[in-house]
A = this chain, B = another copy of it.
Amino acid sequence: MKLFDEQSFLHQLSIDCVIFGYKDAELKVLISRIKMKRSFWALPGGFIKHEESIDQAAKRILEERTGLKDIYLEQYRVFGEPNRINHEVFEGLTSLRDEWAEQIMLDEASLQWLAKRFVSIGYYALVDINKMHPRKSELDDSVDWYNVKQLPALIMDHNEMVTQALETLRLNLDRKLIAFNLLPDTFTMKEVQELYEAIYDKPFARNNFQKKILDLNVLERLEKKFTGAANKAPYLYRFQQ
């Protein structure tokens, strides 16, 4: 099995995905730790097959890492500085070459292919964190969720990619009604509010927030959710539109 089949993919063009999830009142991003002597952290990414569209490629990459089909994703920006060359990982790969070469996972041509400058198309995705189980790719040591406010130092410009993805998410959140992709099928209004507060990193007034969200006319009110707490039970809602 070959990792980078330089025949199958467009050259010098990649896709990197900022996969957002939400848990414990924190907005999280899925980050790979790359399998090397020294650890590198990076956004999940991949390449574009000759016969597939860039959107299909992004979907395939997301499915490989999340196991989910039909997740919300959107391209938001291209990163194309000429120095976007992955020196760190490339040198790590080179040092592993002998070991891996035996498994025919990395030949000279693949290394040459990887060593070049890459223009990367940034996608961001919104997933229900409970529905998915992160899957490691062959290169990954681990794949984990990190609080978007406490990310490790990522390779190349990947930290900047996250920052710009978050900016785009904030701009699009209300306009495109996409916040609910981060929540389970049913949720309370308080959960929606805490999600918004995590995304915008600022508090919202409870009553006004409820009004604003209900005025969107995209939520169906279901039965109440009795938690056993000594207070009024909140309604559950379901997104529909």
- B82 and A55 contact, CB distance less than 8 A: no
Q: Which of A13, A51, A121 has the most CB of B within 10 A?
A: A13
Partner among B51, B52, B77, B119 whose Cβ is within 8 Å of the Cβ of A13? B119
A209 smallest CB distance to B (angstroms):
23
A75, B55: Cα distance in complex, Å: 18
Please report which residues of chain A, range 13-54, place their CB below 8 angstroms from some CB of chain B when the two chains form the complex: 13, 48, 50-54
Partner among B50, B53, B77, B80 whose Cβ is within 8 Å of the Cβ of A81? B53
Copy number in this complex?
2
- B75 and A53 contact, CB distance less than 8 A: no
A44 smallest CB distance to B (angstroms):
18
Chain B residues whose C-beta falls within 8 Å of the C-beta of A11 in the assembled complex: 10-12
A78, B12: Cα distance in complex, Å: 15
A223, B53: Cα distance in complex, Å: 55
Cβ of A117 under 8 Å from chain B = yes
- B117 and A82 contact, CB distance less than 8 A: no
- B82 and A119 contact, CB distance less than 8 A: no
Q: Which of A48, A117, A119 has the most CB of B within 10 A?
A: A119
A15 smallest CB distance to B (angstroms):
10
Whether A48 touches B10, Cβ cut-off 8 Å, given contacts A54-B80, A77-B75, A81-B53, is no
A57, B211: Cα distance in complex, Å: 47
- A82 and B50 contact, CB distance less than 8 A: yes
Please report which residues of chain A, range 101-146, place their CB below 8 angstroms from some CB of chain B when the two chains form the complex: 117, 119, 121
- B80 and A119 contact, CB distance less than 8 A: no
- B77 and A53 contact, CB distance less than 8 A: no
Chain B residues whose C-beta falls within 8 Å of the C-beta of A12 in the assembled complex: 10-11, 13
A75, B80: Cα distance in complex, Å: 11
In the A-B complex, the 7 residue pairs with the closest CB atoms? A54-B80, A53-B81, A11-B11, A53-B82, A78-B121, A51-B82, A10-B12
**What are 14 A-B contacts with C-beta separation under 8 Å?**
A10-B11, A10-B12, A10-B13, A13-B13, A48-B80, A50-B82, A50-B117, A51-B82, A52-B82, A53-B81, A54-B119, A55-B80, A75-B78, A78-B121
